[in-house]
Amino acid sequence: MDMVRVKIGMDYVVANQPGSIWVFYKSSFICHTLGESDQHITLGIGSQLLAEEIYFSFVHAKCTAQERGGLWKLGMLASRGPNLPSATIGRATRLDSKPKPFRFLNFWTKNPGFLDVIKGSWAAPSTGSPLRVLSDKLRRVKHALRQWSRSSFGDIFFASRTAEQKVLEAEIAHDNHPSDGLLLSLQEERAKLRRAVVVEKEFWRQKARVKWVSDGDKNTAFFHVIVTERRRKSVIHRIRKTNGEWVDDEANICAKAVSFFQDLFTEEGGRPSSDMLEIIPKIIIDQDNMVQTGVPSISEVKEVIFSMDEDSAAGSNGFTGKYFMAAWEVVAEDVHRAIMSFFCRAMLPRSVTATAIMLLPKVQCPQDFIQYRSISLCNFVKKVISKFLSSRLARVLPRIVFPQQSGFVSGRQIADNFLLAQELLSDIKKPNRGGNVMLKLDMIKSYNRVSWIFLIQVLQRFGFSEVWIDMIW
């Protein structure tokens, strides 16, 4: 406490018995303790600047109502008299009723004991299909990592502050009494501080998901600002209904979101005409289908996993690609068996297909849900399966997509269409025989949803096998 008192330029400090509340004050005030507990301290404060003594209660309340109940029963100011000037300054910590979701922290992989934790949990036997076995083992690892993180890292922010304070104490001790022992102690404390700072920086870096910062000085404050701003923008405080009314309570906002996107993604009636399907040629041959549906080897699975972004946002189970890359020697066999079982037409369990829906604003200040773009945060195993399907489909796309469609095909640039459209528009006013006509089509719903019936019929006409179609269904 004295170190902090000197650092902030105060003369005195008083604290409650557990040391959870510190009150600093200048020498122009006289303070004496009237009552205290593990949640509060009540002081009488006098000064020549005050006409009479003032009573202050400083409160740091517990998280739950049951724990806080004893605080108010103490009657901190009741015994002081109703006519005496008094005030209460405090903070009550609120805990949400929902449990905090698990999120794999990438800096865990740099700890020497990380793989031992994974091996110990992963070795326990599991029964069921390979996909369910993998899900069960990930669930066990999740609990093991939580316990290990509490014991190995604890509160990383408190550890960083404590390490900084110990370095300051070691520097003062060495300056007052220089010796080899104190110098060694100072170097050890500085090393601990560097490790604590790196852990905190990596935590905020992962939260901020800033990928263009690779090297440089400590950027913890920068990452913290990015995370804070993202959290501020991620909360939908109010939304406007179609009739112009504003909705600002959470329940109605949620109901409005469900209603809007349910209507947006609901398929309208109607089937594609047979004439439209008849013009689609059969291009995919049996050899293509064999490649598309072939069971991948363990080397192919590893190549796909290590080609993916290790820092991409995690799905509902909280595991990022970093976990699978760092623990590959432990999880490789189970991951390979799970991927193999999918290509052998096994059903994906809900633990794999569970997806978190995120809404990203399209404009600076969105006012209705049409100004949000919905994206899916899938579990990493599902991302790996999707990567296999998309990479194999990419091999035949140039043959089934016309050259005029320049987007989403390797070797083509979608910017070509933009340039062509600009050239056409620049010449639209030039007079010519017959005049010019330009059509602006509203494609807003065309790319928001896909008719599965139409898609399956198109794939069948192109010649894709039923096994392949069933994989993407």
Every domain of the chain and the residues it spans: 2-92, 106-234, 249-257+284-435
For the chain, give the mean pLDDT.
Answer: 83
pLDDT on residue 211 = 56
Identify the top-confidence range among 76-85, 386-395, 401-410, 422-431.
Answer: 386-395
The packing angle between helices 286-293 and 380-394, to 10°, is 160
HSE toward the beta carbon, residue 142, CA cutoff 13 A: 15
pLDDT on residue 60 = 82
Q: Where are the beta strands (DSSP E) in 162-264?
A: 239-240, 246-247
Using the predicted structure, report yes or no on whether residue 131 has a pLDDT greater than 60. yes
Q: Which tokens in the block code for residue 150?
A: 């509490």
Secondary structure (DSSP) of 333-395: HHHHHHHHHHHTTPPPPHHHH-EEEEEEESSSS--SGGGEEEEEEE-HHHHHHHHHHHHHHHT
Q: What's the CA gap between 153 and 107, in Å, rounded? A: 10
HSE toward the beta carbon, residue 28, CA cutoff 13 A: 3
Using the predicted structure, report yes or no on whether residue 9 has a pLDDT greater than 90. no
Mean pLDDT along residues 377-397: 93
pLDDT on residue 161 = 84
pLDDT on residue 65 = 65
Mean pLDDT along residues 151-156: 85
**In the chain, what percentage of residues exceed pLDDT 70?**
84
Asked whether the beta carbons of 94 and 63 are under 8 A apart, the reply is: yes
61: Cβ contacts below 8 Å, ≥ 6 apart: 39, 40, 67, 68, 71, 90, 91, 92, 93
Considering only residues 137 and 63, tell me which one the structure prediction assigns the higher pLDDT.
137
pLDDT on residue 460 = 93
pLDDT on residue 146 = 92
How many Cβ atoms are within 10 Å of 399's Cβ, its own excluded? 10
pLDDT on residue 216 = 47
Mean pLDDT along residues 342-357: 91
- pLDDT tens-digit series, residues 65-110: 666 666 665 554 444 554 557 666 666 555 555 667 888 998 899 8
- pLDDT tens-digit series, residues 198-236: 888 888 777 776 555 554 445 566 666 766 666 666 778
Identify the top-confidence range among 23-37, 202-216, 265-279, 376-390.
Answer: 376-390
How many Cβ atoms are within 10 Å of 175's Cβ, its own excluded? 10
Considering only residues 189 and 220, tell me which one the structure prediction assigns the higher pLDDT.
189
pLDDT on residue 217 = 46
Mean pLDDT along residues 187-191: 91
Q: H or E element: which one contains 120?
A: helix 114-122
Asked whether the beta carbons of 355 and 381 are under 8 A apart, the reply is: no
**CB-based burial of residue 318 (10 Å sphere; 0-12 exposed, 13-18 middle, 19+ buried)?**
middle
Between the CA atoms of 254, 257, 260 and 264, what dihedral angle is there, to the nearest 10 degrees?
A: -130
Pair type for strands 246-247 and 239-240:
antiparallel
Asked whether the beta carbons of 204 and 223 are under 8 A apart, the reply is: yes
pLDDT on residue 54 = 86
**In the chain, what percentage of residues exceed pLDDT 90?**
31
pLDDT on residue 77 = 46
Using the predicted structure, report yes or no on whether residue 348 has a pLDDT greater than 50. yes
Identify the residue whose tokens are 């899900």.
135
Asked whether the beta carbons of 294 and 343 are under 8 A apart, the reply is: yes
Secondary structure (DSSP) of 133-151: HHHHHHHHHHHHHHHHHHH
pLDDT on residue 277 = 84
- pLDDT tens-digit series, residues 299-311: 999 999 999 988 8
Asked whether the beta carbons of 11 and 37 are under 8 A apart, the reply is: no
Low-confidence winner among 22-31, 60-69, 462-471 (lowest mean pLDDT): 60-69
pLDDT on residue 270 = 63
Low-confidence winner among 70-74, 95-99, 120-124, 402-406 (lowest mean pLDDT): 95-99
